[in-house]
Chains A and B, each alone.
Chain A
């Protein structure tokens, strides 16, 4: 069964303290791995898509990497406005468009 596991469930950092969020996955036929950010009371906001092992993408203080079994979201020198829940999701199977399977998310809190 396709599965996505995120760790830790919650992470509290001091402003400027870099860290990484983990996303482990087991899927048959990975078509893409996605990272989203979700603020309370809002819909998920798209951040990155990764398609193959070794791929990396960056946006401001965030960098996403992908291996055959997991993805990391590295956050460098975070600011309080980076506080949110970060969701990892995978699209699997052999159809060009199909459902996304989400992990439970990591709640990130950045203290000033």
Chain B
């Protein structure tokens, strides 16, 4: 059973460009979460999505950042007009449907390391 997959693993962008980060959850998982980790800091929650719905975006910056989890395909975290402060590791996690599995652990992907020049 493949784990959470993220791509690309490394992404370099110049200031002002757009960054698109992709996440494919574990098979059977219907909940996706995005977290950001700055160097030497902890993981910070950004957004929680289910298929075609944003459930909680309380950690998402109000401007330039957006996320989606379409009916088909991976979840996408999109950062427009990137700035140097966006440089970080972005992690995606997924969890199974609680009602059927009874479990709420989140399993993480390997992350995408974004560098803004």
Which residues on A are within 8 Å of B, measured CB to CB? 31-32, 34, 36, 42-46, 49, 87, 89, 91, 96-105
Contact = CB atoms under 8 A, between A and B. Distances in A.
B48 A99 contact: yes
Given A42-B111, A44-B108, A99 B33 contact: yes
B76 to A, nearest CB: 18
B98 A87 contact: no
A112 B35 CA distance: 34
Contacts of A96: 98-99, 104
B45 A32 contact: no
Contacts, number: 59
Contacts of A89: 43
Given A49-B103, A102-B42, 5 more contacts: A42-B111, A43-B108, A44-B43, A87-B42, A99-B33
Interface string B25-46: 0000001010100000111110
Nearest to B41: A104
B41 to A, nearest CB: 7
Contacts of B98: 96-97
B11 to A, nearest CB: 15
